[in-house]
Structure 1
Amino acid sequence: MKKDFKEFKEFIYEKKVGVVGIGVSNIPLINFLVELGAKVTAFDKKEESELGEIIIDFKNKGVNLELGEGYLSRLTGFDVIFKTPSMRIDSEALVKAKQEGAYITSEMDEFVRYCKGKTYGITGSDGKTTTTTIVSKMLQQEGYKTWVGGNIGNPLFAQIEEIEESDKVVLELSSFQLMTMNVPIDVAICTNLAPNHLDMHKDMQEYIDSKKNIFLYQEFDDVLVVNRENDITYKFEKEAKGAIREFSSKRELENGAYYKDGILYLEGKEVCKKDDIIIKGMHNVENYLAAFIATKDDVSIESMKQVAETFTGVEHRCELVREIDGVKYYNDSIASSPTRTLAGLKAFNRKVILIAGGYDKHLDFDPLVCEGYPYIKEIILLGATKEKIKKAFKDFEINKGIKVNISEVDSLEEAVNKAKSLAIKGDIITLSPACASFDMFANFMIRGNKFKEIVNKL
């Protein structure tokens, strides 16, 4: 049973509350906590001048501010602390605050704890956003009022009292959001797992353990959806309390969702043909299969088919930008890991000119090289990882005798111009970096938008 939100309102009233991070999700959270009568202090490493007009609004509402260098040293004396998702629970400031007796939580933890609507939680290394969007569109197609949040959509905690029991809620959940999650999610979906975010997690095991929290606290009548073809997620079944549902792109599943001979099936019934799905690639077939089996209690096959045959995809995910002189330019900026880039490469039925490289998340690029080389005509490298990726391809050439042509550049603009000079009619150029953006851009969206801007000026 979900808790009554009245409990939270009574609990938070007049409490001293610290909110770490004045970002997109925490601004509505801070405003909401003030409305509920909490005494709020907002913390951020940015200075007042960098945060803009929101600071004036907060000051007018009586929000205390702790900003700039050393801001976390002042995280003391609070009853409740809402952490930003990327802040590790074992950070010195939070450990100290917990020892002082503070209740440490996050916007997403409290939302799931008190949300009345049926909640679908989606996690994984790749495919989270697309699967989240597909699930939400199918529920909307069926006629449900549907709320989308977590890593995408809108911060939902401030709207929690508007959400009815008959509504559906779809959440994209990252490993950082899940690290502290200890409440049940009605339907948990894990699309796949592969090494990712190893710059933030201590090791691969910690990354996997954080993902497990999406299902570890479920009840017996909850549902866990796993990828039968992913060794890591398949093992989750042994620890699950709720009902297990599987999807597979490689084998027939009597009680699951599966792909066979060009057709996507749900428990033996045809939903749609692969060629009729607008967004291409086997990774998107898997995303649809996960969505079908997850929503089968709430969505008809007709609604599933309608979405599959009309949904044109999410921005920055194998997004066609334009065609110039017979050359197509694709923006796949979301691909911030080698496995994600591989999935994108395999969606094209020919070798492509690949623009890759970026921030170093301490991931192994060997899978990209060993599995990706048949799909790469030329690779153009930039960013902090360019030498690391180049070494992986050179080592492969020495060991296997297979050479991939490599160019190195210093900027995204230079990369696009280089790709244009290499391309001939019929070629595909794709920005699919296999790395995060933080060495050159604040996030993958800004990187993708910059790429589109450069391409549209060609």
Structure 2
Amino acid sequence: MDATAFFKSIAGKRVAFCGIGRSHMPLMELFKKHEAIVSARDRRSFQELGENGRILQDLGIDLILGKDYLHDLNEDIIFRTPGMPFHLPELEAARKHGQAVTSEMELFFKLCPCKIYAVTGSDGKTTTTTLLSEFLKAEGKTVHLGGNIGRPLLPEIESISPDHVVVAELSSFQLISMRQGPDVAVVTNLAPNHLDIHKDMEEYVDAKKNLVLHQDGFSRTVLNADNEITAGFKDLVRGDCWQFSRVTEPARGAFCDGEKITVNGQPLMNVGEIKLPGWHNVENYMAAIAAAWGDVSPENMRKVAREFGGVEHRMEFVRELGGVKYYNDSIASSPSRTISGTLSCYDKNLILICGGYDKHIPYDPLGTPICERVKELILMGDTAEKIEQAVVSCPEYSEGLPSIHHVSDMPGAVALAHKLAAPGDVVSLSPASASFDLYPGFEARGRHFKELVNRL
């Protein structure tokens, strides 16, 4: 079914959007325009919804709010917001009654008329997604970029032509119910994450597998050969399997020997041509290169590498003050992200601001790299004690190395970092934790950090 036929079919149908957030707001307006009977359901009160509640009210959308917002879930079509558990009893009951329970991204995949490149992973997926988009734009393609990267794609569906391309970042929450595969799938890496939402690591990994499981023989799959979990996906691949590695040159894919990147044995670029710092970004480049090879010229890939300065909140340079450089790595919401990012780039001159919301994932891996590279560790948030325990219990720790400090909030962290820093030091916010104890998201956390640093 194409988009035109689908939107004709929903006229007069009752459609519920469970969760009022950035992906559902434009969708509700779109479905209303196509004469669906739209309701919005959310646990929050009308006052807590703020401007969104008033916008929906003005559109004439029925609001079902409060703790019983899923009671009597009897609409014909039900959209689940990505963060909502797939197996909620109310959703299971709706499926048993023959109601369609779906999500924005599932329907987009069903209706999309053009080639889809999709990226998932625990770390690096936003940068890899953005690099893919930059590659394709450099080649002159019309690119629709969205998904978990912060922009819903379904509202654009009527403007997408068969000769366009889509580049989508997908989270485990979006993938858990996905039953369609993209033309090109990329899995950057996998490590424990989001275990506050998923019932266990197995469910998290199984959600990620859905990106690969539903591809066909005409598809391409790009896997990280250096990550044990993603390397294990190779047996699931039904189409053209590519890998990327910094350890062993794959039979088909991208390889970095520490100095240059090659593709299927063919030299492509020197590592020094890549503007983004860090070996994790070399890996992100290899993933994007393997995904776009054959669709984007080597010349355009090198051009992007030389010019692309990075994505906000990802080891983003903020300013230099008194010989001290400040970086915003707020995207680092897991230990693996902090280890592969900030902790891989600096040596003994690092003042690290760390800690935040607890996703119930292990913090022990942080201990050794922090002891090896951090001179001052500033901790805050729910995970502060776990991170401190990981540091002081590792064999490399000795009293005062690093020096550990506790603060209650970001202003206290930035002020203390400024006081402790000497010329030649680097101050980085790289929390290894989610932001939800103090902020609505990592973007708000990163912006607050930058505001405070720029006021120093």
Tell me, yes or no, if structure 1 residue 438 matches structure 2 residue 446: no
Residues 53 and 425 of structure 1, relative CA distance in 2, 3 Å threshold: closer
Tell me, yes or no, if structure 1 residue 277 matches structure 2 residue 305: no
Tell me, yes or no, if structure 1 residue 341 matches structure 2 residue 320: no
Instruction: Compute the displacement of 1:400 (Å).
Output: 6.3
Tell me, yes or no, if structure 1 residue 203 matches structure 2 residue 200: yes
Aligned length: 454
Q: What SS does the aligned partner of 1:218 have?
A: coil
Query: Residue 101 of structure 1 corresponds to which residue in structure 2?
Result: 98
Cα distance in 2 for residues equivalent to 1:330 and 1:291: 24
Q: What SS does the aligned partner of 1:341 have?
A: helix
Residues 53 and 388 of structure 1, relative CA distance in 2, 3 Å threshold: closer
Cα distance in 2 for residues equivalent to 1:385 and 1:332: 17
Query: Residue 115 of structure 2 corresponds to which residue in structure 1?
Result: 118
Cα distance in 2 for residues equivalent to 1:355 and 1:436: 13
Letter aligned with residue 77 of structure 2: V
Cα distance in 2 for residues equivalent to 1:256 and 1:436: 33
Residue 245 of structure 2 contacts residue 256 of structure 2 at CA under 8 Å; is this kept in 1?
A: yes
Letter aligned with residue 206 of structure 2: D
Cα distance in 1 for residues equivalent to 2:24 and 2:126: 20
CA RMSD of aligned residues (A): 1.6
* Structure 2 residue ranges without an equivalent (≥5): none
Query: Residue 413 of structure 1 corresponds to which residue in structure 2?
Result: 411
TM-score by length of 2: 0.96
Cα distance in 2 for residues equivalent to 1:372 and 1:20: 41
TM-score by length of 1: 0.96
Q: Alpha-carbon deviations, 1:320-366, whole Å to 9, x = none?
A: 11111101111000000000000123442422111100000011111
Instruction: Compute the displacement of 1:84 (Å).
Output: 0.4
Residues 198 and 56 of structure 1, relative CA distance in 2, 3 Å threshold: closer
Cα distance in 2 for residues equivalent to 1:255 and 1:50: 52
Query: Residue 393 of structure 1 corresponds to which residue in structure 2?
Result: 391
Q: 1:64 aligns with which of 62, 65, 78?
A: 62
Q: What SS does the aligned partner of 1:241 have?
A: coil
Instruction: Compute the displacement of 1:92 (Å).
Output: 2.3
Letter aligned with residue 81 of structure 1: I
Cα distance in 2 for residues equivalent to 1:240 and 1:234: 11
| Larger mean Cα displacement after TM superposition, 314-323 or 155-164 | 155-164
| Larger mean Cα displacement after TM superposition, 188-197 or 274-283 | 274-283
Residue 280 of structure 1 contacts residue 347 of structure 1 at CA under 8 Å; is this kept in 2?
A: no
Query: Residue 19 of structure 2 corresponds to which residue in structure 1?
Result: 21
Query: Residue 314 of structure 1 corresponds to which residue in structure 2?
Result: 311
Q: What SS does the aligned partner of 2:119 have?
A: strand
Instruction: Compute the displacement of 1:81 (Å).
Output: 0.2
Q: Alpha-carbon deviations, 1:3-62, whole Å to 9, x = none?
A: 422442244221111101121110111011112221111112222233344444433433
Q: 1:135 aligns with which of 108, 132, 137?
A: 132
Q: What SS does the aligned partner of 1:280 have?
A: coil
Instruction: Compute the displacement of 1:155 (Å).
Output: 1.5
Residue 122 of structure 2 contacts residue 190 of structure 2 at CA under 8 Å; is this kept in 1?
A: yes
Following superposition of structure 1 onto structure 2, how do residues 40-79 of structure 1 map, counting pairs within 5 Å?
40-74=38-72, 76-79=73-76
Instruction: Compute the displacement of 1:156 (Å).
Output: 1.5
Q: What SS does the aligned partner of 1:451 have?
A: helix
Cα distance in 2 for residues equivalent to 1:314 and 1:137: 12
Residue 279 of structure 1 contacts residue 311 of structure 1 at CA under 8 Å; is this kept in 2?
A: yes
Letter aligned with residue 125 of structure 1: S
Residue 345 of structure 1 contacts residue 372 of structure 1 at CA under 8 Å; is this kept in 2?
A: no
Q: 1:33 aligns with which of 26, 31, 34?
A: 31
* Structure 1 residue ranges without an equivalent (≥5): none
Instruction: Compute the displacement of 1:420 (Å).
Output: 1.5
Q: 1:449 aligns with which of 430, 447, 450?
A: 447
Cα distance in 2 for residues equivalent to 1:98 and 1:308: 47
Shift >6 Å, 4+ stretches: none
